[in-house]
Structure 1
């Protein structure tokens, strides 16, 4: 029998459509025709429907893709010469809401609202025992504690800095994304069921990397030559982490389970992603890629493949030494990898001069030395005993936001703040390492190695490209930290008395023979 809505249902439908139309017209008037503001009511209704009907993990995964794939407006994507088709979504996600709608009280970006909203939905569904979301694997209590300590350490640095005369307006921008990280972790704790959602997370980040690579390649090959531009990068600095994740997951998955299907798909993805990473031209991307793969190599047991790679490297080492010695002072394109490595070691500067980053690092160390235990607190500029080139005309608050966020955290937080903020990284790597040697599933072992690699990549971004204030970096570290905790519980790397009972009631991944050197749970 065909469904025939009642007159009352038709009336409700008509009222909803008319009301939505009126609100949309009002939004268009308020936003002076800005398509983002005009479509905001429709987007809000769509999000509301998804929230009420769809499992939370799908909303969280969608947010993850959008954060990594759209134009990241805070870092001036494509050097602001060309807005990609995803630029409007990036503007909607990352721009302060008061700038879009003109309401002064809305001094936060939409992405923050989505994070807080997702947490609220998770808590509400748990409290009401909703059946929309299945039960989730818990995370170890120490991980939850250090994530909370990270948040409260940042709040302490804010209070300490303002009490010492800091500028509260600038201080908020120094710690915002770092303070949001524990909240992002909470969002993914409530939304991800457990390690069984790892493949979905990996595919989402790979899809985002392919999207960004397509934007990077089109901009480099079409827009730049057509407009005769000179650019230093083609998307943004933080995209390096996304590119590295996609390349690393293909390599590590094949290492853990050498299959032809993994090899073919992996090679295709690596080529497509590497093209975008090459055009983006970030030296740290290559450093992070090598660092992540090195971490995977050292964690991996002595399989026949690892022995083969090790013997090959030893056999080729004399040739590599000669290659570096000959290419160290050469400008030939054949030795471009050597030139990149040399620029990382020596910096990019004229002969007899210090690199800008080196001078900045010296200033940060000098600032830290003024109060090594508690730091200056947020709201203060780093000291400048070694004069830097004045870049205030393009970046007025550059002394509040050092490129080296790692030394910046030491300068602003001292040993106390530095340890409190980043203790969760140590716990994350510890849990991933223990889980790796207790996991029987190749996917779980791949996840563990990727988590260690992501942490290494994040530290590189923090050290070289202000990664601590990037949502792109923050989201990847947060989701990996949560997955490390859930993997530890499922593999038995961390005590969980209800483990056997809960896993017996849920759909668990089929176990495989453990790798050589692995320990049974």
Structure 2
């Protein structure tokens, strides 16, 4: 029997290259971004067959946080950055890009579901590509699932009451994707040892957005001669604050000169982006993060001395605010910023748009206090609002204050069901902080608590509940909190797990240090 000789490898390479060239040219005729689809397809095949899932998850996380977030009109709609085409590809409905009407969902959804499916497939087939991962505490898994159940209940209730299905889907879409993003991160993070990798990914995205913010604010805006309200988008405040938390909390837990230098450089670069983006909520959130860290951390002599000093200085602070409240001097700039938060855009004693909208949403909630209206319904307008339908036709389906919107659409039961996972996340993070002797783990716990505070502020002030940026960072923190809790003994290691290959071990005592991998054990611990 004779066999035909194999084709030389270079012929297969030439054939593949020719196919990619032809497919790229054809894709360019549809949309410029579609031209890169063939290359992406080849890259996907390589990732599926060779690469641990945590690396493509990191890449998707970076893209979600770094490219132009087109749903929020990046750069106030005046200037598309070089990352705008990728942002359009990630977040615009695929029906808009491909002209196929049935594809009424963004590419980011496909990536989330695809990576989650890949991870599950590898677990089921016992693939050695991905190592075992630490399990998540079952109560945390339960409340994450409860969030999705509560959202679906609110959808069904709203539709049964005659709600608009088309508009309802975009009231809860990103929040309903949260459990799937959490599952994706669960399979991507082996344990707390992978937290620094993902933290650096978020920092890289924050630096990217800061560079875009500074360039647009310092170069493009003056050349255009226009006024802009923001230079990237509202949700970037959460990315910026995450980076600031890494810089401050890591130094707080490990006060080394290297951490101080790197932290100061990072703070400077991120603050430049925040300054041009001009979101007051970003500064309020960061102050809240610092306050949370102050309350959680132990009370050594230095902290007690600082606290006593602040108590003694309180009268001077009151005088400073009293004098600067009506002053226009630059010396009282912090007072002016605080006053704008209290007075709003309407000025002292006047209601601005947000005030009226909040009152209307509260009035809607009072009509349906327990179960809410359900999704698919507009909030009521007992106090008429200016009609902004010419720029935002669905404005009554999406109140700026998403927190109050949850009360209006879901009532007490819906609100509690959707947000219970945040309470459990903070609880586990704080328990992990006080039961860990590893500085990196303690810093991660503080970052997680601060990020949850930022998320709540974004939901309260800037429709954060329908932002993929906010949802991705919060989901990462949920998984980080769960794995920290198991690794530090803040929550018992489950004796069995639904995931094949997940490690099982006796419950470590409080304060014990658990190293999921041998490579993570410090040299001095091995010697001991």
Q: Distance in 2 between matches of 1:193 and 1:123?
A: 14
| Aligned counterpart in structure 1 of residue 93 of structure 2, from 83, 92, 96 | 96
Q: Does the CA-based 8 Å contact 1:363-1:386 persist in structure 2?
A: yes
SS, match of residue 440 in structure 1: coil
Match of 2:143 in 1: 146
492-501 or 165-174, larger mean C-alpha shift: 492-501
Deviations 1:296-355 (A, max 9, x none): 110001123422432332233232222111111112222121111111122121454212
1:369 aligned residue = 366
Contact 2:27 2:35 in 1 (8 A): yes
SS in 1 for 2:427: helix
2:517 counterpart residue number: 506
2:200 matched to 1:208?
no
Residues 453-508 of structure 1 deviation map (CA, whole Å, 9 limit, x = unaligned): 01111000000000000000000000000010000000000111533599677236
Matching residue of 1:229? 226
Deviation at residue 180 of structure 1 after TM alignment: 0.4
Number of the residue aligned with 2:498 = none
- Going from structure 1 to structure 2, the CA distance change for 1:501 and 1:293 (only over 3 Å counts) comes to closer
**Superposition deviation, residue 10 in structure 1:** 4.3
| Equivalent position of 2:28 in the other structure | 28
Q: Normalized against structure 2, the TM-score is what? A: 0.93
Structure 1: runs of 5 or more not aligned: 514-521
Structure 2 counterpart of 1:519: none
Contact 1:435-1:492 within 8 A present in 2 as well: yes
- Note if contact 1:489-1:499 (Cα within 8 Å) is conserved in structure 2: no
User: Which of the residues 338, 342, 345 maps onto 1:341?
Assistant: 338
Distance between the aligned counterparts of 1:417 and 1:123, measured in 2? 30
Does the CA contact (< 8 Å) of 1:367 and 1:411 recur in 2?
yes
* TM-score normalised by length of structure 1: 0.94
Bigger shift: residues 329-338 or 294-303: 329-338
Aligned residues: 506
Give the aligned partner of residue 382 of structure 2: 385
Residue 24 of structure 2 corresponds to residue 56 of structure 1: no
2:17 aligned partner: 17
SS of aligned partner of 1:302: coil
CA distance in 2, matches of 1:489, 1:437: 13
Contact 2:67 2:86 survives alignment (8 Å): yes
Distance in 2 (alpha carbons) for counterparts of 1:376 and 1:288: 30
Shift of 1:53: 1.2
The residue that corresponds to 1:418 in the other structure is 415
1:436 equivalenced with 2:433 (yes/no): yes
Counterpart-to-counterpart distance in 2, 1:370 and 1:512? 63
Q: How far apart are the structure 1 equivalents of 2:173 and 2:41? A: 24
Aligned to 1:137: 134
Quote the Cα distance in structure 2 between the aligned partners of 1:188 and 1:456: 20
CA distance in 2, matches of 1:409, 1:421: 8
Alignment check: 8 A CA contact 1:441 1:512 kept: no
For structure 2, list consecutive stretches of 5 or more residues without a partner in the other structure.
496-503, 509-513
Cα separation, 2, equivalents of 1:478 and 1:410: 22
Is 1:80 equivalent to 2:77 in the alignment?
yes
- 1:517 aligned residue: none
1:118 aligns with 2:139: no
Matches within 5 A, 1:114-263: 114-263=111-260
**2:315 alignment counterpart:** 318
Q: How big is the shift at 1:416?
A: 1.2
Which range is displaced more, 104-113 or 402-411?
A: 104-113
Asked if 1 retains the 8 angstrom alpha-carbon contact of 2:134 and 2:486, the reply is: yes
- After TM superposition, the structure 1 stretch with the greater mean CA deviation from structure 2, 344-353 or 214-223, is 344-353
- Alignment-derived partner of residue 516 in structure 1: none
